[in-house]
Structure 1
Amino acid sequence: MNRGPRSDDPTSTRPGAVRRTLEQPEKTRRWPGLDLGAPWVSGVLGAVQALVFSLAVVVVPAIAMAVAANAQLSAVTSGWTAAVPVAARLWLLGHGAPLHTGAATVTLVPLGITAVAVFAVLVSARRTIVATRSALWTAAATYVVGVLLVALATGSTDGLQLASSVVGGLVVALLGLGWGLLTGPEPGPLVAQARALVARVPQLLRVGVRGALSAAAVLGVLAGLLTLFWVLMGWSTVADVLSDLSLDAASTISLGIAQLAVLPNLAVLAVTWLAGPGFSVGSGTHFGPDFVTSGPLPAIPLLGALPAPSTGGGIALWAPVLVVVAGICGGWAATRRTDSLVWWHVVPLAGLVGVGSGLVTAVMVGLASGVAGPGRLADVGASPVYLGGCVAAQTGLGALLVLLATRAEVHAAVATAWRSVRGQGSADGEAEVDPGAGGAGSGAEEGSGTGAPAEKAAGAAPAKGTSTTTSTSTTTSTSTTSTSTAAPAPPIPPQSVSDDL
């Protein structure tokens, strides 16, 4: 009697059963043989996955570097466990927790580590966590607790470090969870609730935020292309720094990973170059489109990709036009989502695009700036407030231009105003002509008015006792005064005069 597993059992170990198990929908094969129960359990498991994955990305290369160093230096007795706390502190720095060293307190956030952490949470949310509100908050709380435990395990007992760990962990968790759950393959109740909440937001604010994010994304792409151009132009300098360091293979790989962790910081600083203010890498330095002032810097290969002094001035002064182009893209994205709107609403809509993109840029520059080490590296980055204002003004201008050029409501308002101005001008011209015409008519009326009494006087019989000479002279003078509008009175027959006498 065959006591083996049935062939139709999806958990069977036979090849056919394994194939059928892999072909099942994703929601039925996430955790084979494990009933997750309530949705909040999936939130806990997903957060733990994200913590382990993102921490391993930083810790494993550090362990490999330590093992390689111990293999080459026989006198070194410290094991690979000494590299784990250092890597964990770098992982916490990626979450915004300051790193205290003997020489300085590093506050510059390696955005590459932050991006890896957000990506880990996103993937875990899409594959493990159920899209419900309870699972969302449970996953966020679990992730924050995990970051706090890592901080305590590495000896980070300073109040600022603990508070920064909690805030940074919460921001990373909410970004990754929100992105993963709202765009996942299996929409849940959370997606419907989010859509209902977004539908309550006024249309102007909703499309303004969409345009701001679009402008910030275009600006990020432009900054990435500029960073790639800098790396290609300064590749010879980067190679010279690597050759002078004389590193072995393991150290070169480790250094390359470390450079990738801060490469997004250089891309963010490229935004400051595009917007015009520029940035600094060391006290007394300036890297901007107007001019470049460099100074002695540490032997770090990535610093060889900084702009050369010859890149300042000339055509580089037109770099802020690219930020205006990003604003045009943001305004186009906003106007495509707008059905109808009052013509003057284009001004606040362009303002929302500019302020939103400026705020996003200011936050990113604030994270990418700070203290990167002792000495000259104590001043790296730019002012986030000033840069955010510049980006807001430039992107807002671009959004306003495209809105004025594409909105039919604006065109209709301009046409109506033009017709009103032309109609008012025609009315004013007619009013100027009317007084002259009225004067001629009044003169005619005066003449006719003068002739009318004469006509009546001439047509009336002279009173008794009035001489013929007086009557005749009165008739003659009145006829002479009247114009062509009044005909002269007929002469009085002599017979009637004689009869009266």
Structure 2
Amino acid sequence: MNRSTTALLAALEALIVVAIGVGIALVPLTVLWATHFELAVDWSVFWNAAADVWLLGNGVDLTVQLPAALATAFALPGAEAPFVLSIALLGFTVLAVTLGVRTGIRASETPHPIIGVLAAIASYGVFTTLIAVSSGNSVVTASRPQAIVLPTLIYAAGVLVGVLGVFGRGVFERGELARSELARGLPTTDATSRSAKEPAAARNVGRVAGLGRRIRERYFDLPDTARQAIAESLRGGAAAAVAIVGVAALAVAVLILANFATIIGLYEAVQAGVMGGITLTVVQLALLPNLVIWAVSWLIGLGFAVGVGTGVSPVGTSLGAVPGLPIFGALPQSAPPGGFLWLLVPVLISFFTALLIRRRSDKAGRPAPTLTGQLSAGGGIGLVAGLLLGLAAWASAGAMGPGRLADVGPNPVLVGVLAAVEIGIAACLGMIAGSRVAASASSAASTSSAASTSSVTVDPK
């Protein structure tokens, strides 16, 4: 595969990713245009709507100026003045990052990975610019600089994650191979033989990053205890954050099922018709990741706002008028039984995550860390998880309308700080408990071995 073919395939893949994202909103809107409006309305109205939804899902702020009659019909304070929609529909963001990771992995498997990565990102930027230039009207206006930059950055982040994932495996394999050879007193394998042992993707990505060798050398030059603490912090923090998000997703699913009748009643009240209901459902599906992150903030103990002066937390719920989306019928109307006992969920998840990380390190034959090493790893788990959850909370919050709806979602700084404290303390306890369990098991094994040896008798014959 030559350079031109690699670049064309990467550009085609970027085009497909953009088409999937915009098409999710455009297809039902186009069907609505053909069936309900019978082609009587200019199709550009629906194109603008689909492009605005996609841009909003990629973090682009939209400025809305409602006509006077429509603002009066909504009866929302502040609707007559221009207002900003800044809450990202994270479903589109997750889709772009996921497909970007796939693009990065595929680019790293080509003979010209640099060209593949650059062509994919540049093409995505061109397509995003075309969408931003071709959309917009007097009612909804996207921030043009954000529309050009943010979607491209989100996709590029996914591409780089895919590339670095393959590259990281190659770096780790090379470092572990060199360490094992040195430990056995063998000369380290030269570059040619190492390259032969690595998969093609790892060799290609190794060509991409000239910094790889220096990163590997600096990392493996660290003391064993430092490298172990770093690895456990990254692995444990990511695992704890993912587990908490998983529990939050389960809680959101249970709330939706428990309040299904209320949600259906809100659908009927909207009277959007079949295709309008499908379009509304697409928007709500894109908003589901936001609700999951809000549930994470709730489990941590902070809760979230659905407008200025409102709050949904384990202590209680105070809601006023909420945005007119049927999915908000699943919001709890009061504090659940147990209140702050729900805070034990992230604490227990963090404790057992650290416990499993510690036991896995013991089974791998790594040296038992000191108390300082255990606390460092536990604190690192809290910092990593707090950073991840704080960033997720920041991405899930924003303005959903005029007036009091300008503040919707959790406070990202408080979520990150409180999550780091809760998870860090629980992880420190889990690391200490895991080390003690391992020490007890080792002592019991030694005692059993000694007893077996002393019971052996010699036959006098």
TM-score by length of 2: 0.72
1:368 Cα deviation from its structure 2 partner: 0.4
CA distance in structure 2 between the partners assigned to 1:88 and 1:183 by the alignment:
38
Match of 1:87 in 2: 50
1:51 Cα deviation from its structure 2 partner: 3.7
CA distance in structure 2 between the partners assigned to 1:123 and 1:168 by the alignment:
14
Pair 1:100 & 2:60 matched: no
**Structure-to-structure mapping, 1:381-420, within 5 angstroms:** 381-407=409-435
Pair 1:318 & 2:317 matched: no
Out of 192, 196, 201, the position equivalent to 1:187 is 201
Greater shift in the superposed pair: 42-51 or 382-391: 42-51
AA in 2 matched with 1:292: T
Structure number with larger C-alpha Rg:
1
Match of 1:71 in 2: 35
Closer, same or farther: CA 175–99 of 1 in aligned 2, 3 Å = farther
- SS of 1:105 mapped into structure 2: strand
AA in 2 matched with 1:187: A
Closer, same or farther: CA 288–199 of 1 in aligned 2, 3 Å = farther
CA distance in structure 1 between the partners assigned to 2:278 and 2:169 by the alignment:
35
- 1:144-177 CA-partner distances (Å, limit 9, x unpaired): 4443443344365644544434543433433455
CA distance in structure 2 between the partners assigned to 1:357 and 1:65 by the alignment:
39
Out of 4, 9, 13, the position equivalent to 1:49 is 13
Match of 1:121 in 2: 100
Out of 373, 391, 413, the position equivalent to 1:363 is 391
State the percentage of identical aligned residues: 26
- 1:390-419 CA-partner distances (Å, limit 9, x unpaired): 11111111211111111259969xx9xxxx
CA distance in structure 2 between the partners assigned to 1:183 and 1:254 by the alignment:
42
1:225 Cα deviation from its structure 2 partner: 0.8
Residues 120 and 176 of structure 1 are in contact (CA less than 8 Å); yes or no, is this contact kept in structure 2? no
1:49 Cα deviation from its structure 2 partner: 1.5
AA in 2 matched with 1:101: V
Pair 1:287 & 2:301 matched: no
Residues 42 and 130 of structure 1 are in contact (CA less than 8 Å); yes or no, is this contact kept in structure 2? no
Match of 2:160 in 1: 174
Match of 1:453 in 2: none
- SS of 2:338 mapped into structure 1: helix
Match of 1:59 in 2: 23
1:192 Cα deviation from its structure 2 partner: 5.6
Residues 48 and 143 of structure 1 are in contact (CA less than 8 Å); yes or no, is this contact kept in structure 2? no
Closer, same or farther: CA 186–237 of 1 in aligned 2, 3 Å = farther
Closer, same or farther: CA 179–46 of 1 in aligned 2, 3 Å = farther
- SS of 1:188 mapped into structure 2: helix
Match of 2:91 in 1: 112
CA distance in structure 2 between the partners assigned to 1:222 and 1:186 by the alignment:
38
- 1:256-305 CA-partner distances (Å, limit 9, x unpaired): 11110101100010001000010011122110001111112233111101
CA distance in structure 1 between the partners assigned to 2:234 and 2:8 by the alignment:
31
Greater shift in the superposed pair: 178-187 or 378-387: 178-187
Match of 2:150 in 1: 164
1:219 Cα deviation from its structure 2 partner: 0.8
Residues 234 and 384 of structure 2 are in contact (CA less than 8 Å); yes or no, is this contact kept in structure 1? yes
AA in 1 matched with 2:354: G
**Structure-to-structure mapping, 1:146-295, within 5 angstroms:** 146-154=127-135, 156=142, 158-178=144-164, 187-190=201-204, 197=215, 200-201=218-219, 202-295=227-320
CA distance in structure 1 between the partners assigned to 2:436 and 2:233 by the alignment:
18
Q: Of the two structures, which has the highest relative contact order with CA contacts closer than 8 Å and spacing of 6 or more?
A: 2
- SS of 1:187 mapped into structure 2: helix
AA in 2 matched with 1:37: N
- 1:285-338 CA-partner distances (Å, limit 9, x unpaired): 1100011111122331111011121x34x4131111111122124313542246
CA distance in structure 1 between the partners assigned to 2:229 and 2:7 by the alignment:
34
AA in 2 matched with 1:64: P
Q: How many residues align?
A: 374
Computed over aligned residues only, the root mean square deviation of the Cα atoms, in angstroms, reads 3.1
Residues 274 and 322 of structure 1 are in contact (CA less than 8 Å); yes or no, is this contact kept in structure 2? yes
- SS of 2:287 mapped into structure 1: helix
Structure 2: runs of 5+ lacking an equivalent: 66-81, 137-141, 171-198, 220-226, 444-461
CA distance in structure 2 between the partners assigned to 1:266 and 1:100 by the alignment:
23
CA distance in structure 2 between the partners assigned to 1:380 and 1:69 by the alignment:
31
CA distance in structure 1 between the partners assigned to 2:123 and 2:296 by the alignment:
35
Residues 111 and 262 of structure 1 are in contact (CA less than 8 Å); yes or no, is this contact kept in structure 2? yes
CA distance in structure 2 between the partners assigned to 1:323 and 1:37 by the alignment:
50
CA distance in structure 2 between the partners assigned to 1:44 and 1:212 by the alignment:
39
Residues 212 and 355 of structure 1 are in contact (CA less than 8 Å); yes or no, is this contact kept in structure 2? yes
Pair 1:296 & 2:321 matched: yes
Residues 97 and 157 of structure 2 are in contact (CA less than 8 Å); yes or no, is this contact kept in structure 1? no
Residues 280 and 287 of structure 1 are in contact (CA less than 8 Å); yes or no, is this contact kept in structure 2? yes
CA distance in structure 2 between the partners assigned to 1:299 and 1:176 by the alignment:
38
AA in 2 matched with 1:105: V
Closer, same or farther: CA 57–287 of 1 in aligned 2, 3 Å = same
Pair 1:352 & 2:380 matched: yes
Greater shift in the superposed pair: 360-369 or 88-97: 88-97
Match of 1:372 in 2: 400
Closer, same or farther: CA 232–60 of 1 in aligned 2, 3 Å = closer
CA distance in structure 2 between the partners assigned to 1:232 and 1:90 by the alignment:
26
CA distance in structure 1 between the partners assigned to 2:149 and 2:201 by the alignment:
34
1:44 Cα deviation from its structure 2 partner: 5.3
Residues 268 and 364 of structure 1 are in contact (CA less than 8 Å); yes or no, is this contact kept in structure 2? yes
CA distance in structure 1 between the partners assigned to 2:135 and 2:169 by the alignment:
35
Pair 1:37 & 2:37 matched: no
- 1:49-68 CA-partner distances (Å, limit 9, x unpaired): 13423433433542432442
